[in-house]
Structure 1
């Protein structure tokens, strides 16, 4: 099976053939995947070199001309390093484009902390009107990329990862999907953490929602799911900074007594390179760690 990033290159190359409004801007990362597309569309595949602020600036300039730019590099270089340009060249200018990242929170541990971005979604939450997609499988990535490319002048972030679930789910670029129903609470699994959540909650009497589009946050689906449960206890399991979406869940349930537990990447930097699975376990995002924390949270509610 190809990776999400490989699917991004092949799908976007085809989209460039189909839609003359699309353009791709790169910063040396991912150039090989667009070599053929660059030969066919030299005016719409631009490599600015290792200049991430320029990557976003060129994308914003292309958007001002009426094109729909798709900008790609590691998440830490796409959202964090050029954040001022994202804020001004897109938000302030009122134009749209698509940011497509690689690396996620810790996909390449040997790259060190410079190539990790657990805070990317939280950072974009400080800006207005960004749609955020977090696919959990290359097929989902393709569907969401096509959705983002065709999304008019919207501002969209597509967060790709080498982590992937064993099978794709149907995605529509908007709503959470309900995979299990239960009475003791609701667990929201985001993107590539779905398989771990399903394994962790096996045998538990909980509802499991699957989220691949996290902004806008599907508060209606969460409200409907908590309506099935005996208590409005919610666990959010996100592949980025823990607690990133807790305020959105709290807002959705503001008129109901409820509790929310946000699980995700911890704030403490793990300074040993290790392997991806070791980082998952260290942050408690492997099935064993998730089961302990989810069960503990729900048990504490039963004892209260």
Structure 2
């Protein structure tokens, strides 16, 4: 199966052909995928070199002229390094752009901590007005990329990852999808966490919601699920643990509830290993998730049942 990032250049190249507003801004990373697009659209495919602050600044300038820029590089270089430009050039100037990241939280462990960005979504959460898509499969990435570019002049972040569920689902760029219904709690699985969550809860009496658009947070879906499944809520996210706990708490503010946020821990893992080793170390593999969800959810079937 191809990866989400494999879909990025072909999808955006088609968008360049279809819409004269669309432009692509790169900082070396991913430039090889746009060789042909640059030949056809030399004024709308721009590589600024290894200058990530300029990457965001150039995208902002394009947006202010009426274009729809798509900026791409690793998440740590797209959100963390140029955060001041994201905050001011895009946010303060109310300029819309599509930021498309790669490498997710730890997709390239051998690259070291400089190429890891588990805090990217939490960091964007400090700013107003961002839509955040977290696809869990290449087909979903393609759909959400198109949604992002077509979203008027909004500020949109699309988080691509090598981690993927086995099959894609129909997503609309807005709502959570109900994958399984139960009566002993709600588990919200974000993006590529869905398969592990389904394996972990296979015989547990819980509702599983699938979130590929995490901002705005689909409070209505959580409230509907909680009305029948109860108000014990577990959030399983492929980025910093607890990133969405405030949003879940706000959604259920008028009813007694408990929220457990599972995700990537704050401790740096200095033996980088493989992706699956990172998932296990952070308790995001199916076995660890089962133990943690079973302990937390009221009325869940015991692990050995």
**Fold in common (TM above 0.5):** yes
- Per-residue CA deviations over 1:260-301 (Å, capped at 9, x if unaligned) read 000000000000110000000000000001000000112599
Q: Is 1:24 aligned to residue 24 of structure 2?
A: yes
Give the length in aligned residue pairs. Answer: 301
- Per-residue CA deviations over 1:198-236 (Å, capped at 9, x if unaligned) read 00000000000000000000000000000012x310000
User: What's 1:190 paired with?
Assistant: 190
Give the aligned CA root-mean-square deviation in angstroms. 1.1
**5+ residue gaps in structure 2?**
none
Contact persistence 2:21–2:67 (CA under 8 A): yes
Q: Is 1:250 aligned to residue 245 of structure 2?
A: no
For residues 3 and 300 of structure 2, the distance between their equivalents in structure 1, rounded to whole angstroms, comes to 40
Alignment of 1:120-269 (within 5 A): 120-229=120-229, 231-269=230-268
- Per-residue CA deviations over 1:70-94 (Å, capped at 9, x if unaligned) read 0000000000000000011111111
Q: Is 1:106 aligned to residue 106 of structure 2?
A: yes
SS at match of 1:62: helix
SS at match of 2:254: coil
For residues 30 and 2 of structure 2, the distance between their equivalents in structure 1, rounded to whole angstroms, comes to 15
For residues 128 and 298 of structure 1, the distance between their equivalents in structure 2, rounded to whole angstroms, comes to 32
After TM superposition, the score normalised by the length of structure 2 is: 0.97
For residues 162 and 237 of structure 1, the distance between their equivalents in structure 2, rounded to whole angstroms, comes to 17
User: What's 2:295 paired with?
Assistant: 296
User: What's 2:61 paired with?
Assistant: 61
SS at match of 1:151: coil
User: What's 1:115 paired with?
Assistant: 115
SS at match of 1:117: coil
SS at match of 2:157: strand
Contact persistence 2:184–2:299 (CA under 8 A): no
For residues 59 and 276 of structure 2, the distance between their equivalents in structure 1, rounded to whole angstroms, comes to 35
For residues 166 and 148 of structure 2, the distance between their equivalents in structure 1, rounded to whole angstroms, comes to 24
- Per-residue CA deviations over 1:167-211 (Å, capped at 9, x if unaligned) read 000000000010100010000000001000000000000000000
SS at match of 1:260: strand
**5+ residue gaps in structure 1?**
none
SS at match of 1:284: coil
For residues 85 and 139 of structure 1, the distance between their equivalents in structure 2, rounded to whole angstroms, comes to 31
- Per-residue CA deviations over 1:45-102 (Å, capped at 9, x if unaligned) read 0000000000001000111111010000000000000000001111111110100000
For residues 298 and 200 of structure 1, the distance between their equivalents in structure 2, rounded to whole angstroms, comes to 13
Structure 1 runs of 4+ off > 3 angstroms?
299-302
Contact persistence 2:205–2:300 (CA under 8 A): no
For residues 148 and 301 of structure 1, the distance between their equivalents in structure 2, rounded to whole angstroms, comes to 38
User: What's 1:274 paired with?
Assistant: 273
How many Å apart are 1:251 and its aligned residue? Answer: 0.3
